[in-house]
Amino acid sequence: MESTLPFLNAVGLWVPGMDLRPPAESAAAAAEIEALGYGALWLSEGLVRDPFMEAGTLLAATRSLVVGTGIAVIWGRHPRLVRGQARALLDAHPGRFVLGLGTSHARLVEGVLGLRYERPLTALREHLDQLDAPDPLLALAGIEGSPAAEAPGAPRVLAALGPRAVALARDRSAGAFSYLVTPEHTARARAALGPDRALIVEQAVVAGLPAERARERARRHIAGYLPAAPYRASWQRLGFTEADFADGGSDRLVDALVAIGDERIAERITAHLAAGADHVCLQALPAHPAALPLDQWRHLAPLARRAGRRPGVRVVGA
């Protein structure tokens, strides 16, 4: 099946905790994000509301904004439910929803969800197998093969940090979604994905603050991921060592993963795009996790627009 990702501007936003705000406030924020010229908004796994439900609210509040799950965690979600939720969003808002899936890490899956985290790539592969299989309920109802049943599903991307995850994204999806990575990682991922898969890269940023305060905010952000094994392994493949993981993260690690100030942010966007990213989604770090960094989104909008536009990516799969 041929599938094309929605057209994406070179720069979008990755927004955690959008669902911590009342729905009307989240909808108003999405409308402003669209008005500022960002073409895409990526949602983290839901904290208090399901990300598919949240995506529906944001899509309904906007006209052309692309909304994606970046990413929805597969553990505890039956593939048939995922397929139905994604299909409903795409039917209601054609060409504006991207399904991002991933396995997250043991701290979330076991510590929060209370589920067993083992063989994550195998679990993701099996989830995709069920997602792509004919729906047994349609067969039970005797309506398999109908136009509705054969309609294409939402284009999907897979969270991918390590080489095997990138290979799975290449073989079973429209592309890869990377998080907390450097342009060097982007170059490696592009080489592994090949030219006909999308590469979407999250980039943490802090704009509009004095350097010392910005660094404190950046270090606090990185410190929250230091206990997560997949991220440590990703950083070690990039040449970071245990010394970089001590005391909330070394300056070298923090500076490599969080771009601070307009000049560094512009340089990092350019570096990711030059290394092969199709789309860079900026995560502006707020003063408090429950806050929406509207001031930073407004400040960064001209910079994002200057990054230009790139054509969509034609891919096989999804």
Q: Is 139 helix (H, G, I), strand (E, B) or coil?
A: helix
In angstroms, the CA 137 to CA 144 distance is 9
The total number of residues shown for the chain amounts to 318
Domain that holds residue 306: 2-316
Query: What is the band of 3 on the pLDDT scale with cuts at 50, 70, 90?
Result: low
Give me the pLDDT at residue 2, please: 39
- Mean pLDDT score of the chain, rounded to an integer? 90
**pLDDT single digits (tens) 217-274:** 999 999 999 999 999 999 999 999 999 999 989 999 999 999 999 999 999 999 999 9
Query: What is the band of 316 on the pLDDT scale with cuts at 50, 70, 90?
Result: very low
What one-letter code names the amino acid at 128? L
- Mean pLDDT over 207-211 rounds to 94
Give me the pLDDT at residue 144, please: 64
Give me the pLDDT at residue 114, please: 75
How many structural domains are present in the chain?
Answer: 1
- In our burial notation (b when 16+ CB lie closer than 10 A, e otherwise), range 18-50 reads bbbbeeeebbebbebbbebebbbbbbbbbeebe
**pLDDT single digits (tens) 100-151:** 999 987 676 666 667 678 899 999 999 999 999 887 777 777 776 666 665 6
Stated pTM of the model: 0.93
Query: What is the band of 312 on the pLDDT scale with cuts at 50, 70, 90?
Result: very low
- 93: domain CATH number is 3.20.20.30
Question: Between 115 and 31, where is the model more confident?
Answer: 31
